[in-house]
Amino acid sequence: MKALRHISILLALMILFTGVVFAGGGQQAPAPAEPGQVTVRFLVPQWASTRDARIERQVAFQSVIDSFHAANPNIRLQEVVSTASSYDVDVANQINNGTVEVVWINNPFYPTLQQDGKFVNVEPFLSEADKADFFPWTFEALKSVNGELGGLWHNTDVRLFFYRTDLMPTAPKTYEELITMTRQIKNSNPEMAAPFFASLGHTDAITHVWGNFEALGGRPFDDNGKPVVLDGQNRQYWERIFRTFKEMMDAGLIPESAAVAREAGVVPLLLSGQVASFIANSNYGVREIVAKLPAEEAALWQAANVPGYQGTAGGRSVSGGWVFSARKMDDPVLQEAAVKFVLHATSFMAQRNVNKAGGWTPTRTSVFQDDPFYQGDRFMVAADEALATATVRPLNVMSPIMASAIADALSQYLSGSATLAQALDRANTIIQQEFSNL
C-alpha cells in the first residue's frame, strides 16, 4: 500500500504539472497542440507559478490554467517558469525574442518595454464593467508611459504602519506624533530593541518614503521629463525626510541595523517581541503576524496608513504590484489568444484565488466587496483604506535609478559615512549622469 501511494502521488504530480517548462533565458518552443489549437506561452517567476514550494500557490495558479482551458478549448497554455538570475532581464529577452506571448511583469520594469510599444493595448478588449471594476490608478499608471493600456494590474501591495495596540493604542498620523509615542515606549520599555523599525538602507525604503515626498509637494520630473527630484524645493523635502529618520536613530528609537536592512529585517524583532511598530508590505499582516505569532500575541497587532508630516493632508503610501501583459505579434489569432489569457488571469476569480494564496492585495474593487476574507481581515481592510490615497512611483525608466541613488544616500547619511549634503549631492550626480546616458 505504501509503494502504491507513492506511485499515485508521483502520477498526480506529473499530471498536475504537464505543460510546465523551465526557462533560464533560452528559447522555448511551443508545446505540441491538437489540430485547431494555438499555444500561448506565459512567463512567470517560480514563486508565482505551479512550481512554487507552497501548496496553496500551486493550487491557485493551476486553477487559473484549468479554468482557462475549460473556457477556451481551442487554446493551450504553456507555463514557462523562469530560472534566470535576473527575472527582469529574462522578461526582456523573452519578449524581444518572441519566445513567450504573455509575461507577468513587475510594474517598475513595465515602462522599459512599453515605451518601445512591445505590448498589446488591451483596453479595447475590456467591457465597461471591467473598466469600472479595476482601481482607476492602475489604468492611469499603465497608460502614463505611451497612452496605451499595455497590460492589466493583477495584484498590488501598499506599505502599512503596523503597531502593537498594548503599547500604542492608536496609530500616529504624523512622524512628529510617532517620535513622541516611540520615546514614551522606549522610556517605559528600555529593554525593547526597536520602538519602531523601517528599512532605511535599501530601495525597500523608497517604497514607504516616496509617497510622503509627493505629499509634501515633491515633483520628480520637470515638464520636459528631466529628473529634478533632488533640485530646489524637492531637495528640501528629502532633507526633511532624512533628518526625521536620523533624529529617530540617534535617539535609539530605530535600531542602527535599519540603515542597511531590507524590509524583512523586522521579522526577527517581530518574532522575539522586540518591536512595537514598523512599516512593511501590507502582506506582512497575513504572512508574518497571523501566520507566525501565537494567536493572543497576533491579536495585539493592528495596521493603518503610514504616518505623514505636519502640514500635509496625511500620510501617503506607495502602491506596488505585478502586471500581466501580452506582446504584440503578427499572428492575429495568437495575439487574440494571448489577450484572452491576460483578461482571464486578472478576472475576479483569478484575482480572488491567487491573491489569497499569495497574501497579496487584489486590484478589483469587486474582490474587496464580495469576498468575506477581504471584507473581514483587518489588515486587508487597512490596505484597502491606504490604497485610497496611495500613489504609484512614476512608470519611467529613471524611477529605479532614482530609487537606488536616494536609498544609498539615506543609508550613507544614517550610517555616518557622509553628511546630508554629501549624500544628496552624490545621489544627484548619479541620477543626472544616468539620465544623460539614456
Note whether residue 94 is domain-resident: yes
Note whether residue 5 is domain-resident: no
Q: Which residues contact 60 (CB under 8 A, 6 or more apart)?
A: 353, 354, 356, 357, 358
Same domain, 283 and 310: yes
Note whether residue 226 is domain-resident: yes
Note whether residue 201 is domain-resident: yes
Q: Phi-psi category of 33—alpha, beta or left, where left has phi over 0 and alpha has psi -120 to 50? A: beta
Same domain, 374 and 360: yes
Same domain, 376 and 359: yes
Note whether residue 1 is domain-resident: no
Note whether residue 128 is domain-resident: yes
pLDDT at 33 over 90: no
Cell of 241: 525626510
0.95 cut: is pTM over it?
no
Supply the DSSP symbol for 217: T
Same domain, 295 and 429: yes
Q: What is the mean pLDDT of residues 288-315?
A: 96
Given a contact cutoff of 8 angstroms between Cβ atoms, the answer to whether 120 and 102 are in contact is: no
Same domain, 141 and 257: no
pLDDT at 290 over 80: yes
Given a contact cutoff of 8 angstroms between Cβ atoms, the answer to whether 150 and 91 are in contact is: no
Given a contact cutoff of 8 angstroms between Cβ atoms, the answer to whether 324 and 345 are in contact is: yes
Note whether residue 393 is domain-resident: no
CA proximity to 23, closest of 76, 92, 110, 74: 92
Domain count along the chain: 2
Tell me the C-alpha distance between 337 and 73, whole Å.
11
Residue by residue, DSSP assigns 135-158 as -HHHHHHHHTTTSS--SEEEEE-B
Same domain, 280 and 195: yes
Tell me the C-alpha distance between 198 and 205, whole Å.
7
Q: In this predicted model, what pLDDT tens digit does every residue of 347-383 receive, in sequence order?
A: 999 999 999 999 899 999 999 999 999 999 999 999 9
At how many degrees (to 10) do helices 232-250 and 420-437 cross? Answer: 130
Same domain, 306 and 341: no
Same domain, 423 and 347: no
Tell me the C-alpha distance between 38 and 410, whole Å.
51
Pairing of strands 159-164, 277-281: antiparallel
**Three-state DSSP class for residue 200:** coil
Same domain, 58 and 44: yes
Same domain, 299 and 331: no
pLDDT at 10 over 70: no
Note whether residue 302 is domain-resident: yes
Tell me the C-alpha distance between 279 and 266, whole Å.
9
pLDDT at 23 over 90: no
Reported as a pLDDT band with limits 50, 70 and 90, residue 297 is very high
Same domain, 62 and 164: no
User: What CATH number did the domain enclosing 74 receive?
Assistant: 3.40.190.10
Same domain, 265 and 405: yes
Cell of 134: 479595476
At how many degrees (to 10) do helices 175-188 and 232-250 cross? Answer: 10
Look up the domain containing 419 and give its range. Answer: 160-318+398-437
Listed range (17-31, 105-119, 169-183, 338-352) with the worst mean pLDDT: 17-31
Residue with cell 497574501: 359
